[in-house]
Amino acid sequence: MRNMLLVARREYLEQIRGRAFRFSTILVPVLVIGLLGVSAFTGRRMGRGKHIVVAADNAALAADIRSNLLEDKRAEYRVDVVAPVTDQDREQLLARVEKKSIDGLLTVDDSAGDAPHVTYISQSSTDLLDTGDLKTAVSYGLLNLRLTQRGMTPEQVHALVENVPVETLQVSSNGKTGKGQGMAPFYKAMLMTFLMTMPILLYGLDMARSIVEEKSSRIFEVMLSVTRADDMLTGKLVGVGAVGITQIAIWLAAAVILSTSALLHPLLSGDIKIRFTLMEAIFFPIYFVLGFFLYSAFFSGLAATCETAQDLQMYVSLAVVPTWASFAILPFLLSNPNSRWVVAASLFPPTAPLVMMPRIGLSMPPAWQIALSVALLLLTIWAVVWVASRLYRVGILMYGKRATLPELLRWVRYS
């Protein structure tokens, strides 16, 4: 135990003092802030302040479309109307689009009666925001026109087509009905899966790489003469795990400070507010540690059988499969967090930490499922550490070539 703790302490201090730790601890928040800044900036600029000309035969319809477009204050459109429009007008307007003196030309040909022909011509083929806005504006305009032609007053039409707000409510397990959070659960599930997956994978790989490095530095024989292979492996897992928790704690602290500071306020003033519950705060570290131990022990066993980082690469692509599977199950998770497949994935140890955490965030699963997933994880970790420490004990003293599968099985048997 003493030597295990000494190994853990060495691993922790060496990594914390290392340049890579400082670099990634600072770089990740800087990158996140940078990305937020870029997306906020581009989001604000995208589709804003465009100059559009609405060309239609029916002047009332064109004016109605114009007023619909101008209703979207955030888009800051400049809209001109040409109605009634002649062929010559159309040609001139097309020329203006080509010269970019206007951003787009919306023509509405209502002459065919019930089947109007609407085109939007611009130099940008990817302006999805515009086409969405335009479609809505034209649809409302045409609907207004048709209904007034059938004898309704504009006020009646307005009352008929007014947006009906749908309030989303969420029932918690104790039967209380609370206000839903709109898109927030989706982003929260994504965030949790990401926060759980990336550090587990990165630190697991870091652990594997450091074992391959230490193997090539021939340190293991000296170490094995003073400490047991199990203590070395466990010490390494504890040390690297503690580094991971330290780093995530620093990131979260930085996130809390930044999100409450004035600096990021303009970037975070969107409609989505993600809040974490006490349950999530309790279970996140538990599932993180369990997931980390499971994957790191697995990677360690593999790493002990490898000679070079290239050898390791081959295994790593296989080892990340459950992680991708967890991302693949996210859509099912979001649409029905209690479906059979989602429950199975949240109990299956390799995917449990990555699926159960978002599940807890979306709708609290029954206690027995959480207890079972933790128990299965502990059992699997024990088994993986058992096999990994055997591979480790034999593998770290084997030099020269990567072991074949039959050799690995023999190592597990006879060590």
Partner 1 sequence: MPVVELAAVSKAYESKVAVRHLSLSIEAGQMFGLLGPNGAGKTSSIRMMMGITLPDSGRVELFGKPFDRRSLDRVGYLPEERGLYRKMKVLDQLVFFGQLHGLSGEEARKRALDWTARMDISTVLDKKTQELSKGMQQKIQFIATLLHDPGLVVMDEPFSGLDPINATLLQDALLELKANGKAILFSTHRMDQVEKLCDSICLINNGEAVLSGRMREIKSRYERNRVIVEFDGSADFLKSDEVAVANNYSGHAQITLKPGGDAQKLLHEAAAMATIYRFELVEPSLEEIFIQTVGGKADA
List residues binding partner 1 (CB under 8 A). 3, 6, 10, 14, 18, 213-214, 217-228, 397, 399, 410
Is the CB of residue 83 less than 8 Å from the CB of residue 56? yes
Minimum CB separation of residue 394 from partner 1 in Å reads 9
| Element spanning 179, H or E | strand 177-179
Is the CB of residue 299 less than 8 Å from the CB of residue 350? no
Minimum CB separation of residue 300 from partner 1 in Å reads 17
Is the CB of residue 290 less than 8 Å from the CB of residue 381? yes
Minimum CB separation of residue 301 from partner 1 in Å reads 19
Minimum CB separation of residue 220 from partner 1 in Å reads 7
Toward partner 1, which CB reaches closer, 235 or 365?
235
| Element spanning 365, H or E | none
What's the longest Cα–Cα distance across the chain? 96
Toward partner 1, which CB reaches closer, 293 or 392?
392
Cα angle: 183, vertex 189, 190; to 5 degrees? 95
Minimum CB separation of residue 250 from partner 1 in Å reads 22
Toward partner 1, which CB reaches closer, 6 or 330?
6
CA distance 324 to 322: 5
Is the CB of residue 84 less than 8 Å from the CB of residue 63? no
Toward partner 1, which CB reaches closer, 218 or 265?
218
Toward partner 1, which CB reaches closer, 227 or 246?
227
| Element spanning 86, H or E | none
Toward partner 1, which CB reaches closer, 3 or 136?
3
Minimum CB separation of residue 352 from partner 1 in Å reads 35
Order of all β-strands in the sheet with 51-56: 78-82, 51-56, 104-109, 117-122
